[in-house]
Amino acid sequence: MIGVFDSGIGGLSVLAAIARALPRADLLYFADTAHVPYGNKDDAAIRARALRIGRYLAEQGCRQIVVACNTATAAAVAALRESLPRIGVIGVVPGIKPAAAASKSGRIAVLTTVSTARSERLARLIRQHAGALRVDILPCPDWATKVETLQLDDPDFAGTARRLLEPVLAAGADHVVLGCTHYAFLVPVLQPIVAGRAALVDVAEAVARQCRRLAGEDGETAGQGRLTLSATASPERLRRALTLLGLESLAARLSGPAILADV
């Protein structure tokens, strides 16, 4: 079984890609909804949550864990790998590398949580893959909460997003990296803003390919394509989000009602 976790519903964007790549794998999605958002917490608090969740997923029988959260990856992926040496742990990092490789203008922007924006991991990623480019890091306080509460068509939010992006687009940024898994669900709002000027970059498909490589033949054939949802608060909201976000293909794999997990 593959465990996939996030602070809330953002990681469902990664889960959907994994489910497409591994149609027969059994999947357990864990949303830490009692502690969302992670993006305004300090590293120690995020790491403590990630370690508890990692242990829980391993106890449930997960042989692979996907940290479907840029914020938790930056703060905790190394600690998770150290504490679970027999589990394959895959993290999610903003798509700086593909964006830098594709950029023609030499300028890209990355939208992230406040925590990811100040992380050493993001700074390192930029040094490694975009050292010769101008990279604008745009922290987006409250955006994940916007998604979490499913207020996706709020006209005020579209205005906020436009005001944040307009200066970097006007300055020539030709790729905008979605550096938080929640932001994949904001594409309908962001796409009209960047249209004709920049491409949005999401890494969910790349993470799913990595998952398939790690799962190998066994991962593909061992399961029955079942999905279990669990959350630390309001599990029924997580189930409802599948429908509201148009993720019916995930709903079709559900093995039962969403579970409240005391983790």
Active site residue 62: no
Closest CA to 36 of 230, 233, 245, 216: 233
For 64, the enclosing helix (H) or strand (E) is: strand 64-67
Residue closer to ligand DGL (CB basis): 4 or 144: 144
Helices 155-170/187-194 angle, 10° precision? 40
Active site residue 140: no
Q: How far is the CB of 106 from ligand DGL (least distance, A)?
A: 26
Binding residue count for ligand DGL, defined by CB under 6 A: 16
Structure token pair of residue 245 = 């976000």
Q: Contact between 38 and ligand DGL (CB under 6 A)? A: yes
For 129, the enclosing helix (H) or strand (E) is: helix 120-129
Q: Which stretch binds ligand DGL (CB under 6 A): 22-30, 53-61, 179-187, 194-202?
A: 179-187
Residue closer to ligand DGL (CB basis): 182 or 253: 182
Q: How far is the CB of 53 from ligand DGL (least distance, A)?
A: 13
Q: Which stretch binds ligand DGL (CB under 6 A): 18-26, 131-139, 180-188, 238-246?
A: 180-188
CB 147 within 8 A of CB 10: yes
Strand order in the sheet with 64-67: 88-90, 64-67, 2-6, 27-31, 227-231, 259-260
Residues acting as catalytic residues? 69, 180
Residues binding ligand DGL (CB under 6 A): 6-7, 10, 36-39, 69-71, 113, 116, 144, 180-182
